[in-house]
Chain A
């Protein structure tokens, strides 16, 4: 379903170890794991704790605190659609509702074919070209239903 490789404890340990000497290493470590595996799976927590000399509870507490980190990988494509005020003022809420309905998912959900994940985001700094989204990391703005469908379908 996901385009990311499955969790691999050896590779995971190498990634954590590469940051072990960094001050305040945990966020850089979690970002690196998520980049490699698409998520921070439960199995990674004891490995991180051991290498960074933290408790599992501390690691879990941090993973669960931040919206970005997920225990399961996203679909092959990710749409981060802005829900904040500037996009609201340009019809963002109706746009979002339409997309979710069209894909048959809720916020944070992935289509049943594993293709597209839709994540809420609160401001992409694209407030002058609202409503806006990041589709697979690329910004798209001045969205209407048509432009959003094209971006989600074609990118």
Chain B
């Protein structure tokens, strides 16, 4: 019986993978469901096992299945997908198994075994020396956080995985939970061993029903087969609040409260979940630690540039010809990512702007595309890498509308605790509406800038604090889109 691999990743399902899997089964093939390889424009991407190895086809429709299984020459044939330039150009560390393996077959926990062999202090030392920084957006050194938690006296410590991936343009956490959930479980177990935590939580999103189902199934297997000893992990699901991706709001939500941001200090590492020392790390941060333990801190630190060490699973999204997940060492330029790897826009029109780092990230014009993908270099360009999302827009985009949306989104998602965010966002939308209507444009733009200063310095967390990034970058780099309504009328 021919074995075929068909993704069960939500993005693949969204473009018909389920019907393709059914067609394969109906044709008598043995179907293995995997995650996605991340070449999303080729989904549903099907691989057929042959004596020469796996042979890929995509994007596959149910009508293609019979010919593909018969091994005939096929216009959708891609050959060995690992030699495809888009995949061959990557350095897959965190996503090495994603799209390849059956996500619900527990692998050998090589990294965890190594951790147990060298002891907690050496694990923290390795994570520190690897240079791994938080992949959720803040970029805080993971090893420093772990050390702080380990050294804080307590009767119980927690490991919390932030899987509340709310940034538009990001889907790496979702893909990993659907494609390789045991890697995250292993990473959390390594962290728990290092800091002496007895209990772990994964806080995911209600917008991710498929990721949650796979993650829960993997956790059930881990418990059933006693893969984690006394450490236990529980999956919790949020309820549609973007702000719960902020770590302290997430902790309040886990405690059963409104997802409101906490003032810091105290740091979660000192007083976190239920007042206990808590490591809170993003999915990708935790899921990278098994590789670091298995291959050594130096091997990870050897990759990357400047203070951004290792690889980043970059997510190309929106109006881009080749969307998907591209894991590479830090240091590629934005131009390489958008033009060479992403292939420009999906619409075929010129690229006008890319938003990096989610709804709180800056819009970059093509004139800044030589910026290297590096945490510090992006900060120097008044932008942020965030969780690694890049959303491409073509020349039909209205940047005033995008700036207005950023303020509107801040208002919708504000937790309400601090005034600049709660009220500033609303006033910002009103002022932006006046600018768009062409009313006292210069004065109102000055007002928006002042408001953004207040948001930036007066907000309690990144929601209010970073909303100025998309707003001000849109105004600065695309001034022709702001308040040109009267000019347009005059020209006609």
B258 A61 Cβ-Cβ under 8 A: yes
Which segment of B67-75, B119-127, B316-324 sits at the interface?
Answer: B316-324
Least distance between B50 CB and chain A CB atoms (Å): 28
A23 B274 Cβ-Cβ under 8 A: yes
* A129 touching B319 in the complex, CB below 8 Å, given contacts A61-B258, A134-B209: no
Q: Does A30 contact B (CB under 8 A)?
A: yes
Q: Does A49 contact B (CB under 8 A)?
A: no
Among B168, B393, B412, the residue within 8 A (CB) of A127 is B168
Least distance between A124 CB and chain B CB atoms (Å): 5
With a 10 A CB-CB cut-off, give which of B14, B389, B402 has the most chain A CB atoms. Answer: B14
Bin the interface of chain A by size: 35 or more
* A121 touching B318 in the complex, CB below 8 Å, given contacts A89-B397, A129-B40, A132-B14: no
Q: 1/0 per position for B134-177, CB-CB distance to A under 8 A?
A: 00000000000000000000000000000001111111011100
Q: Inter-chain contact count A-B, CB under 8 Å?
A: 159
A129 B323 Cβ-Cβ under 8 A: yes
Within 8 A of B (CB), among A95-131: 121-130
A86 B391 Cβ-Cβ under 8 A: yes
Q: Does A50 contact B (CB under 8 A)?
A: no
> Residues of A with Cβ closer than 8 Å to B?
23-28, 30-31, 52, 58, 61-62, 65-69, 80, 82, 84-90, 121-130, 132, 134, 137-142
* A85 touching B207 in the complex, CB below 8 Å, given contacts A25-B256, A141-B15: no
Least distance between A1 CB and chain B CB atoms (Å): 23
Q: Does B246 contact A (CB under 8 A)?
A: no
**Which residue from chain B places its CB closest to the CB of A80 in the assembled complex?**
B207
What is the interface of chain B mostly: helix, strand, loop, or mixed? Answer: mixed
Task: List 9 tightest A-B contacts by C-beta distance, closest first.
Answer: A141-B14, A26-B256, A84-B168, A128-B40, A127-B317, A66-B239, A128-B323, A67-B240, A89-B318
B14 A129 Cβ-Cβ under 8 A: yes
**Which residue from chain A places its CB closest to the CB of B252 in the assembled complex?**
A24
* A27 touching B238 in the complex, CB below 8 Å, given contacts A85-B355, A127-B389: yes
A89 B392 Cβ-Cβ under 8 A: yes
Instruction: State A86–B167 Cα separation when bound (angstroms).
Output: 10
Instruction: State A58–B239 Cα separation when bound (angstroms).
Output: 16
B256 A86 Cβ-Cβ under 8 A: no
B240 A86 Cβ-Cβ under 8 A: no
A66 B317 Cβ-Cβ under 8 A: no
Q: Does B224 contact A (CB under 8 A)?
A: no
* A128 touching B355 in the complex, CB below 8 Å, given contacts A66-B259, A86-B169: no
Q: Does B471 contact A (CB under 8 A)?
A: no
A65 B13 Cβ-Cβ under 8 A: no
Least distance between B297 CB and chain A CB atoms (Å): 31
Q: Does B10 contact A (CB under 8 A)?
A: yes
Q: Does B480 contact A (CB under 8 A)?
A: no
B14 A127 Cβ-Cβ under 8 A: no
Bin the interface of chain B by size: 35 or more
A122 B14 Cβ-Cβ under 8 A: no
Q: 1/0 per position for B408-422, CB-CB distance to A under 8 A?
A: 010011010000000
- The contact sample of 10 A-B pairs, CB cut-off 8 A, is A23-B274, A27-B256, A62-B257, A82-B168, A85-B169, A121-B207, A123-B165, A125-B175, A127-B389, A139-B13
B168 A68 Cβ-Cβ under 8 A: no
B40 A62 Cβ-Cβ under 8 A: no
Least distance between A94 CB and chain B CB atoms (Å): 11
**Which residue from chain B places its CB closest to the CB of A84 in the assembled complex?**
B168
* A86 touching B259 in the complex, CB below 8 Å, given contacts A126-B14, A127-B171: no
B256 A31 Cβ-Cβ under 8 A: no
Among B14, B170, B255, B259, the residue within 8 A (CB) of A65 is B259
With a 10 A CB-CB cut-off, give which of B168, B171, B211 has the most chain A CB atoms. Answer: B168
Instruction: State A126–B168 Cα separation when bound (angstroms).
Output: 9
Instruction: State A141–B324 Cα separation when bound (angstroms).
Output: 14
Least distance between B278 CB and chain A CB atoms (Å): 13
Q: 1/0 per position for B231-271, CB-CB distance to A under 8 A?
A: 00000111111100000000001111111000000000000
Among A69, A128, A139, the residue within 8 A (CB) of B239 is A69
User: Chain A contacts of B236 at CB under 8 A?
Assistant: 24, 27-28
Q: Does B277 contact A (CB under 8 A)?
A: no
Instruction: State A139–B210 Cα separation when bound (angstroms).
Output: 9
User: Chain A contacts of B359 at CB under 8 A?
Assistant: 84-85, 122
User: Chain A contacts of B323 at CB under 8 A?
Assistant: 127-129
Q: Does B206 contact A (CB under 8 A)?
A: yes
Q: Does B11 contact A (CB under 8 A)?
A: yes
User: Chain A contacts of B325 at CB under 8 A?
Assistant: 128
B413 A30 Cβ-Cβ under 8 A: no
Among B15, B238, B319, the residue within 8 A (CB) of A90 is B319
**Which residue from chain A places its CB closest to the CB of B322 in the assembled complex?**
A128
Instruction: State A80–B205 Cα separation when bound (angstroms).
Output: 14
Q: Does B109 contact A (CB under 8 A)?
A: no
Instruction: State A31–B212 Cα separation when bound (angstroms).
Output: 14
* A129 touching B43 in the complex, CB below 8 Å, given contacts A25-B256, A141-B15, A142-B15: yes
User: Chain A contacts of B255 at CB under 8 A?
Assistant: 23-24
**Which residue from chain B places its CB closest to the CB of A82 in the assembled complex?**
B168
User: Chain A contacts of B102 at CB under 8 A?
Assistant: none
Q: Does B186 contact A (CB under 8 A)?
A: no
Within 8 A of A (CB), among B342-375: 346, 355, 359
B318 A130 Cβ-Cβ under 8 A: yes
